Structure 1
């Protein structure tokens, strides 16, 4: 059996699509050894001049209702939290502080997307849900804070512009619907060297002043 290929999964628990991704990660784990890395989605969006769908008024209901439909199709338990989006600085720092493995990461997502709760409003309960003492304080360690920032910068450098983002062989695959693309790429490792892919990756922007 071939050794598994190392892959990095950038996530923020605020993302319902990241939740749906980790519920299907078993589809990739036969071939990939995936390391979960917490980032701050807001910081990543700002760094890439991007916006989350929850920040676009016309996009919000479509996105949220699509999540409901998709979870119904996949048979995955799902419940929106009290409000969305919300700040995830403290929870993401906590996951860094605790060096969260996949079990804890999944519990953190479940608290939001199965229990339907904002951890900021029920911090002791959130900590207990993760298997930590209820009196666990919100992380204030400078090293932990710096690590969340550096993780986010690392994600941007790897080509991520949102979450969920999976990095495989220095290729960034963004979004829940790229799981099948990753599987095809693993079967066709020279995919991006094929003429159609190479051309698409270098296609000039027709709206750029340089194109005029």
Structure 2
């Protein structure tokens, strides 16, 4: 295990407005200052279609399993309360988040834009396609200075959104939110360390993926160079876990 990991060069944060966990993690990362300028680490916000990842990996989303759907909503309400994040469940869920994703790409996924679009759903309780919310949706487009609703459906927007999805699949992402940490070769991991000193003999570190709201503290610890990830006493066994063989597959055994 290396004594120090290369310092992060950029973080790609993949999300979908349909995901309450994405909304919650966005707030936590914002409070931690991750989206502020001057951290020495570029954060790129990348909206993607979560349903596309589910289809790609042939898995069901939490809202497609009735008891898990209810539990997900209850847990998200608790997490919002625990972290003091305002949360209002939208009138329907799941809902079609594609207009929000396209609007985000059209405007440019800045932290300010992403936060406002999250607020539309998870603070104010609106969705972009429900008939009773169309006036609110029109107000949002006006607020964001979108001259015509058709602008968000142009081919350039669709292509960019598709590219984000292809990037996610290439990184083997399977859900949202997912944070992917990319590194400068040979720089200290601690994101608070602004020095340009390079560690001698540092190896190239592949991107590190942190999936889900429950991995938020793990990612922040990684960025801070926590001893779990570095040093001779590190318990991190990722390299072996990457190659861990399967002894059983679902459906093989009979009850």
Say whether residues 1:205 and 2:253 are aligned partners.
no
Question: Contact 1:48 / 1:156 at 8 angstroms: preserved in 2?
Answer: no
Question: Contact 1:28 / 1:183 at 8 angstroms: preserved in 2?
Answer: no
Q: TM-score normalised to the size of structure 1?
A: 0.87
Q: Which moved more, 1:199-208 or 1:157-166?
A: 199-208
**Which one of 133, 139, 148 corresponds to residue 125 of structure 1?**
139
Higher RCO (Cα < 8 Å, 6 or more apart): 2
Question: Contact 2:229 / 2:236 at 8 angstroms: preserved in 1?
Answer: no
Superposed CA RMSD: 2.6
Match of 2:220 in 1: 183
Task: Give the CA deviation at 1:189.
Answer: 8.8
Distance 1:15 1:174 in 2: 13
Question: How does 1:76-87 map onto structure 2 within 5 Å?
Answer: 76-87=85-96
Aligned length: 208
Distance 1:22 1:126 in 2: 20
Q: Which runs of 5+ in 1 are unaligned?
A: none
Q: Which has the higher helix share?
A: 1
Question: Contact 1:81 / 1:112 at 8 angstroms: preserved in 2?
Answer: yes
Q: What are the Cα deviations for residues 154-180 of structure 1, in whole angstroms up to 9, with x where unaligned?
A: 112112111001000211111112121
Task: Give the CA deviation at 1:95.
Answer: 1.1
Task: Give the CA deviation at 1:49.
Answer: 1.9
Task: Give the CA deviation at 1:10.
Answer: 0.6
Where does structure 1 differ by over 4 angstroms across 4 or more consecutive aligned residues?
192-195
Higher-Rg structure is 2
> What SS is found at the alignment partner of 1:23?
helix
**Which one of 159, 162, 168 corresponds to residue 155 of structure 1?**
168
